[in-house]
């Protein structure tokens, strides 16, 4: 079965960058697109973008254009989401998702 295991929580200063990993197992990593979604505390789900792990092609929500980069390492079936120029409003749980299966989430806290 599809399983996604994400990296651990991080605390960042405003202006810094963060890179979250998502290790996939239970399926052929390059077979399905992978999405990143975030959720601020008490708020709804916000889709950030998608990546095709086979080609590396990506598509980002307009809100994050220029600040987000989604990459992958197919040799270890791992996807990455890097968000730069962090601000307090980026404090949220970040999820990877494939075909309805979600990672456990990674809390990114941005605070001075």
x-or-dash string of contact with another protein, 10-49, rule CB under 8 A? -------------------------x-x------xxxx-x
Calpha distance 14→26 (Å, rounded):
36
Pick the stretch among 10-18, 23-31, 54-62, 68-76 that binds another protein (CB under 8 A): 54-62
Q: Scanning residues 82 to 111, which ones bind another protein (CB under 8 A)?
A: 95, 100-105
Taking the C-alpha atoms of residue 71 and residue 80, their distance in angstroms, rounded to an integer, is 5
Cα distance between residue 101 and residue 42, in whole Å: 21
Q: Which residues bind another protein (CB under 8 A)?
A: 35, 37, 44-47, 49-50, 59, 61-62, 95, 100-105
């Amino acid at each position: 079965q599809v399983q996604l295991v994400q990296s651990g929580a991080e605390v960042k200063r405003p202006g810094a960058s963060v890179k979250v990993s998502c290790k996939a197992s239970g399926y052929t990593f390059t077979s399905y697109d992978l999405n990143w979604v975030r959720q601020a505390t008490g708020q709804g789900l916000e889709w950030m973008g998608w990546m095709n792990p086979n080609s590396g092609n990506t598509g980002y929500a307009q809100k994050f254009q220029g600040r987000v980069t989604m990459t992958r390492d197919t040799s270890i079936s791992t996807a990455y989401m890097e968000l730069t120029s962090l601000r307090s409003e980026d404090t949220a749980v970040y999820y990877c998702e494939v075909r309805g299966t979600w990672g456990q989430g990674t809390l990114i806290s941005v605070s001075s």
